[in-house]
Amino acid sequence: MYKKYEVIKPPKKVSDWRGLLVRSKCETSTPVAVFKKGTIFLVKSSGVSKTLETLPCECCGIKAVMRIVGNAEYFLNKFEFVEQI
């Protein structure tokens, strides 16, 4: 079943982003995978480098990991914070 998410305000401190969900505002990619606009990620680590992990696939449980390097403004241009409703 399709899950619904609503946009929330990001915490002011980047260190508080860990453990929150984000949704991509545009298509993103790594050398191994391409993620469609709207992909939901869990922030696994935050700082100058942020590690994002997709939610597990509903049919097979596979997760993909992506690393984003850049400041908070760069990150917020590509992702928005969400919570499940």
pLDDT at 1: 55
pLDDT at 47: 87
Share of the chain above pLDDT 70, in %: 98
Residue 20 burial (C-beta neighbours within 10 Å; 0-12, 13-18, 19+) = middle
- pTM of model > 0.95: no
In this model, does residue 73 exceed pLDDT 90?
A: yes
In this model, does residue 71 exceed pLDDT 70?
A: yes
Between 14 and 2, the more confident residue is 14
